Structure 1
Amino acid sequence: MVQFNAHEYPYASQRMVTYGQKGMVATSQPLAAQAGLDIMKKGGNAIDAAIATAACLTVVEPTSNGIGGDAFALVWVKGKLHGLNASGPSPAGISIEALKQRGIEEIPKFGFTPVTVPGAPAAWVELSKTYGKLPLQEVLEPAIRYAEEGYPLSPVLAHFWKGAYKAYKQHLSGDEFAHWFETFAPDGRAPEVGEVWRSQGHADTLRAIATTDGKAFYEGEIAEKIDAFSKKYDGFIRKEDLENFKPEWVDPISVNYRGYDVWEIPPNGQGLIALLGLNIAKGYEFSNRDTVKELHLQIEAMKLAFSDGFAYITEQSAMNVSVEQLLSEDYAAKRRESIGEEAIMPTVGEPSRGGTVYLATADGEGNMVSFIQSNYMGFGSGLVVPGTGIALQNRGHNFTLDPKHPNCLAPNKKTFHTIIPGFLTKGEEAVGPFGVMGGFMQPQGHMQVVMNTIDYHLNPQSALDAPRWQWMKDKTILVEQSMPQHLVQGLLAKGHQIEVANHPGAFGRGQIIWRNPKTGILAGGTESRTDGAIAVW
């Protein structure tokens, strides 16, 4: 059992940890969390609740995810942890040569070039088929209802929606982007706080996915609409790419951190970076969160972890080093030798050769799910398939056009992926799911949440509320305004280049559910940096 302090972290938002027994859903939108719990009360399990919540989030938080995005899950069922990789590959017709023939020297953020196969709907279907108890039609009903009837926008959601609208209005001028504005700015502007937004296209697509177990999306009418839209604007994705996609069950990877096993999805996800950072950090003693020395060591460990992650992570079959080599104790010790009293410029190591939604669910049977899905960069590519509400992701932007790099663009290849679910176990017992969404903040958030829990004994809410930092590049560190000044000054003295963020959205948004193995009581926390909520039973 995780031993955490009963008191709140002194710099936290003073919200208390939430307790429950029969079921719990924690995510960034109250409507989605409640939808998941309602499904559980109807006889569904934690897996059904996760699917319902995820589908709802595509409607009630489209600024961060959508039907056209990817998903990953860690699922604890009957004493075993299972991993699901539902990230889609690049189209079969794309290549470095094809882009160069079009004069493209760098993969753009918007338009059809960075569009990869959406994996999220396939994740819902696979999870439902393998571990769910209720029919998919019943599980997706709340999301369909919110899309059809509408819902009032919450404050943080409205903030990001307005920011996306302004950016898209400035940068997206082609005819292919008109459907995004028709769908998400129907009145010629972003909807306001408390204003109702609805999308019949979303509802129709979700209903088609539910009634055909996803076949309409990957083989039928929706696949044909995506194909026609892509062909019209000379995109690469085709119906055949959708037909050939299948989500993949994978073995989760882990490191042991002070008696706890911290689990992540293996590459192509960046969860490996969180494990690399923790593997380096465990060589030091951490007991007082408010010391410059301990904060400095965490930052330096994460810088080295990212350096290796950027150099090596891609689709596993294309990696030139193994996960086992990168997570070896000898390699962690070798990387630790680079850390001193002053901030360093991070460098890539040489091992021995051989912006997302997150949700956590738990039920009274012991099942638990850590689930994450995203379009990437908010709404994604800026493209909405006409009449469907499907905002296509732009995940291909993470590929490089350097043919010598492991993560170089190639046909039917999965790119380095930012979204990562986390899970904690001890011995044979599940402690529970955790996650922090938000681009390259995610492994940094995972490391900080785990250390807040295990090293500093903070409860789930306090572990999330505690001030965060984010390594940006070189020696540049972004910190929250709530970071104590003595820590900021101390880091500056060690050579770190400190920038203070004006908005909490820069530090991700997370959720945690821990289970007491003796009593079965659930303890949950949700993010104070967004419209987060915990629905509990």
Structure 2
Amino acid sequence: MTVQYDSLMYPYASKRNVVYGKKGMVATSQPLAAQAGLDLLKKGGNAIDAAIATAACLTVVEPTSNGIGSDCFALVWVDGKLHGLNGSGQAPEGLSIEAVKQLGYDTELPKFGMVPVTVPGTPKAWAELSKRFGKLPLTDVLAPAIDYAENGYPLSPTLAKYWNQAVNTFKRLLTGDEFKAWFDTFAPNGEPPKAGELWKSPGHAKTLRSIAETNAVSFYEGEIAEQIDTYFKKYNGFLRKEDLQAYEPEWVDPISVNYRGYDVWEIPPNGQGLIALEALKIVEGFEFTERDSVDTLHQQIEAMKLAFVDGMKYITDPNEMNIPIDLLLSEKYAEKRRSLIGEEAITPEAGKPQQGGTVYLATADEEGNMVSFIQSNYMGFGSGIVIPGTGIAMQNRGHNFSLDEGHDNCLKPGKKTYHTIIPGFLTKESQAVGPFGVMGGFMQPQGHMQVVMNTVDFHLNPQAALDAPRWMWSEGKTVHVEGSLPTHLAQALKRKGHDIQVALDGGSFGRGQIIWRDPETGVLAGGTEPRTDGEVAAW
């Protein structure tokens, strides 16, 4: 049974319609990357090949959100089973609370520079996905990304906007010599490229070619690993080639809750997908008759707040978690958290169960394979560290570690931190409905919850589910809402005690993609984010 929605209902302003296809589909935030993935399908590749090709292209055509030095996660539907891949890296062995405090950081790790860089997981995750499920050699799969890096491409409008913001910010904040390679790579003339202007990165192309030809071995054990090691030693960073050599992506069992007959799937911790599942479990106890009502919004927000503070307290490296996942997702605990939701906004506190800058893409092929894939440098361009001559922009995931030794997510050498990026997947009666995701830092579980409810509770088609105005809880009683949210609803939420902040820009509310598949006909229906340059490429 497929998801039920009205394909002709478009209740929200949008420039886009649902896109349909039969043989294959790729949805992501950048048109050139989507088309590259579709080209791989037409050349005989499958959804996994298309996902890797699209992800690699995104490191070139949307470097404001991800890079070769990223982490990633994937949910892969193959032969009637869902597989999870954790492509996040661990803290370097030399990175400890004591070492960080000796550098003068007493309360948190810095956002930029050498210190917050953990082991990048993406290149090896690409190779692992290709090895286990791909059809084409990695050299063919990465060829489109190499071509864009080598020969250049014109910037799309939203990309140019965020590139400009990053350059202006980095000019103020990144003053050390260790950041020179970032400016040489992404602002070689001291200015960002503009919309429609060609940009290329020969070093990026060289690195991607090496990853393709060695199945990422060069990045973790060979010449590239040596370059990374040398640069971090030069500027007293912590990452070493031994840390790179020790890294392996992990195949994991996805976690899920059943929400009104649909199974909603997420990657388990250290990802924050657990928060989306707990929030859905809490709201399942309410009845919703319409999406655009103050009661619906209030109950959604309150449930998300309660789930989020739990996640922020307990989510960390799965080997270090003190509370079992199944307890946080249990009916009994959901009832306990739900009982805290009344008519007024609350300031949430974490409960205790009784023990007993990201890119997202979705792909599908004619054989029924589907991929939900997410990849990120974290805060836009990440740490601001680029390995000279390589195009490798390093992520800054270590910033999420706590320096409080009593916190579940405290920094330890070799540990994985709480991770914001999460791919989602929907099934019904053991059949794939399809991949979905909403990127954007701590917005992601909030976006997942809203998209799932738009689909399951309110029967919106994939495009309308993404078009709908979003809200984002930040802390306490503060809730940011998009300007497109009707004023009377924002005012009604305020009367319930919410501190409503109306945003002038939709960028902070995430960028999502959806592909649903009809199991009877094989027809694919895709939606893409109106808040960015996205595209659904279909065949």
Map 1:73-472 onto structure 2 (within 5 A).
Answer: 73-105=74-106, 106-472=108-474
Give per-residue Cα distances to partners, 1:400-440, cap 9 Å, x unaligned: 00000010000000000000000000011000000000000
Q: Is the 8 A contact 2:270 2:316 kept in 1?
A: yes
Letter in 2 for 1:165: V
Distance in 2, matches of 1:73 and 1:107, equals: 27
- Corresponding residue of 1:21: 22
Distance in 2, matches of 1:170 and 1:100, equals: 24
TM-score w.r.t. length of structure 2? 0.99
Q: Is the 8 A contact 1:321 1:354 kept in 2?
A: no
- Corresponding residue of 1:57: 58
- Corresponding residue of 1:41: 42
Give per-residue Cα distances to partners, 1:326-349, cap 9 Å, x unaligned: 000000000001000000001111
Distance in 1, matches of 2:61 and 2:483, equals: 29
Distance in 2, matches of 1:119 and 1:102, equals: 26
CA offset at residue 286 of structure 1?
1.3
Q: Is the 8 A contact 1:448 1:468 kept in 2?
A: yes
Distance in 2, matches of 1:316 and 1:245, equals: 16
Give per-residue Cα distances to partners, 1:5-40, cap 9 Å, x unaligned: 223332231521000000000000000000000001
Distance in 2, matches of 1:55 and 1:511, equals: 17
Distance in 2, matches of 1:336 and 1:99, equals: 40
Q: Secondary structure at the match of 1:263?
A: strand
Q: 1:118 to 1:300 in 2, by over 3 A?
A: same
Distance in 2, matches of 1:136 and 1:216, equals: 14
Sequence identity (%): 71
Distance in 1, matches of 2:344 and 2:12, equals: 26
Distance in 1, matches of 2:430 and 2:390, equals: 44
- Bigger CA drift: 102-111 or 408-417? 102-111
Letter in 2 for 1:415: T
Give the alignment partner of residue 484 of structure 1, picking from 477, 486, 490.
486
Give per-residue Cα distances to partners, 1:90-113, cap 9 Å, x unaligned: 001111111122222120000011
Give per-residue Cα distances to partners, 1:487-516, cap 9 Å, x unaligned: 101101101000011111010000000000
Q: Secondary structure at the match of 2:160?
A: helix
Letter in 2 for 1:31: L
Distance in 1, matches of 2:96 and 2:173, equals: 25
- Corresponding residue of 1:72: 73
Unaligned runs of 5+ in 1: none
Distance in 2, matches of 1:15 and 1:196, equals: 26
Distance in 2, matches of 1:14 and 1:333, equals: 40
Distance in 2, matches of 1:364 and 1:269, equals: 30
Q: Is the 8 A contact 2:152 2:201 kept in 1?
A: yes
Distance in 1, matches of 2:16 and 2:32, equals: 20
Letter in 2 for 1:230: F
Distance in 1, matches of 2:101 and 2:369, equals: 48
Q: Is the 8 A contact 1:125 1:214 kept in 2?
A: yes
CA offset at residue 350 of structure 1?
1.2
Aligned Cα root-mean-square deviation (Å)? 0.7
Give per-residue Cα distances to partners, 1:296-349, cap 9 Å, x unaligned: 000000000101000100011111101001000000000001000000001111
Distance in 1, matches of 2:485 and 2:26, equals: 29
Q: Is the 8 A contact 1:71 1:371 kept in 2?
A: yes
Letter in 2 for 1:70: D
Matched, 1:527 2:529: yes
Letter in 2 for 1:424: L
Letter in 2 for 1:408: C
Q: Which runs of 4+ in 1 moved over 6 A?
A: none
Q: Is the 8 A contact 1:268 1:315 kept in 2?
A: yes
Q: Is the 8 A contact 1:254 1:261 kept in 2?
A: yes
Q: Is the 8 A contact 2:15 2:530 kept in 1?
A: no
Q: Secondary structure at the match of 2:164?
A: helix
Q: Secondary structure at the match of 1:380?
A: coil
Q: Is the 8 A contact 1:8 1:14 kept in 2?
A: no
Give per-residue Cα distances to partners, 1:61-116, cap 9 Å, x unaligned: 00000000100000000000000001000001111111122222120000011000
Give per-residue Cα distances to partners, 1:103-156, cap 9 Å, x unaligned: 221200000110000001011100000000000000000000000000000000
Letter in 2 for 1:50: A
* Aligned pairs, number: 537
Distance in 2, matches of 1:353 and 1:377, equals: 36
Q: Is the 8 A contact 2:29 2:534 kept in 1?
A: yes
Q: Is the 8 A contact 2:283 2:300 kept in 1?
A: yes
